[in-house]
Amino acid sequence: MTGTDHATLVLRLAAPLQSWGGPSRYNRRETRPQPTKSGILGLLAAAEGRDREASITDLVDLQLGVRVDQPGTLLRDYHTYSDYRGLPLMSTKVNTRGRQTRTTPAKYTGVTQRFYLQDAVFLSALRGPKPLIESLEHAVRHPVFPLSLGRRSCPPTGPVSLGLRPDATLEDTLRDVPWQASRHRRNQIRGTEVPLEVTVEDPAGDQLAVDLPDTYNLKTGTHFSRRTVRHLWVTVPTGHAPQPDSATDTGSGRYPDHDPFALLGW
């Protein structure tokens, strides 16, 4: 249902690097192919200047939809780390007093792998009570803390907020907003329309996403609960002029306007 007491905030999430962490921990930190609700709510909390112990109950109740305007490519960052004092690294073991011990034999260098999305562009729509949505939109335009896309090392490119929209379903909003892909990506599509993947929160959805945080408190840790989502495709204009009609078969078996891999985002 929609009404005048609700509104929708539209965000453009674009950067050279993004990383939307999942359940991975320790020395291998993966990224999900789309922004998570935990990551987007964290961005909003940072914009408002909330500390990590602050309640996020009002943010958790927002409905989220994500559109993949440009899927990007996966990057693995391989690097090493060590103790700046030249001491052996700590191990995962503890002694009888419950204190963490150092590696035996001594290990001075560790390896970590972190994964990122390169040159990805996403459109995010958040629907909720109008006063809260208006406050969040103002905060995103005037953030208290620097905004990042998943990790602190991933600042966004260009303005994040695309403004407020009159209340509508998430699906309709994500269908109506113009395509946000880069010029390079636009040049790869020749037609007048492009199909884009969309994920929306839906109580009747057929899939679960485990990315709903209860807190960002580092002392207590974050527990992630499930939310129900639905995947679909929407078609949006590319802004290209229609191509002149041409022969559909040149004798070589090629069809100029047919791209069998378009739905895969290639």
Residue whose entry in the numeric block shows the structure tokens 């403004």: 163
Cα–Cα distances in Å, from 17 out to 87, 121, 157, 198, 202? Answer: 33, 10, 10, 21, 29
Per-residue pLDDT of the chain (266 residues; tens, 9 = 90+): 566 799 999 999 999 999 998 666 778 889 999 999 999 999 999 999 999 999 999 999 999 999 999 999 999 998 888 989 999 988 878 888 888 888 889 998 988 899 999 999 999 999 999 999 999 999 999 999 999 999 999 999 989 999 999 888 999 999 999 999 999 999 999 899 999 999 999 999 999 999 999 999 988 888 999 999 999 999 999 988 887 764 444 444 444 456 667 666 66
Cα-Cα-Cα-Cα torsion 128, 142, 45, 151, nearest 10 degrees, comes to 120
If DSSP states are collapsed to H, E and C, what string results for 107-162? CCCEEEEEEEEEEEEEEEEEEEEHHHHHHHHHHHHCCCCCCCCCCCCCCCCCCCEE
Q: Where are the domains of the chain?
A: 6-75+117-264
6-75+117-264 fold: Alpha-Beta Plaits (3.30.70)
Cα–Cα distances in Å, from 5 out to 54, 132, 140, 266? Answer: 25, 10, 21, 40
pLDDT tens for residues 187-200?
999 899 999 999 99
Residue whose entry in the numeric block shows the structure tokens 């899939």: 207
Cα–chain-centroid distance for residue 166?
23
Helix axes 37-48, 130-141, angle to 10 degrees: 70
Q: What is the largest CA-CA distance in the chain?
A: 80
Q: Residue type for 215, please?
A: T
Q: Which helix (H) or strand (E) holds 59?
A: helix 57-60
Extended strands (E) in 32-130: 63-70, 73-81, 90-94, 100-102, 110-129
Instruction: Of 147, 175, 109, 122, give the one whose Cα is nearest residue 11.
Output: 122
Burial bucket for residue 199 (CB in 10 Å: 0-12, 13-18, 19+): buried
pLDDT tens for residues 206-226?
999 999 999 999 888 889 999
173 — phi, psi (to 5°)? -65, -45
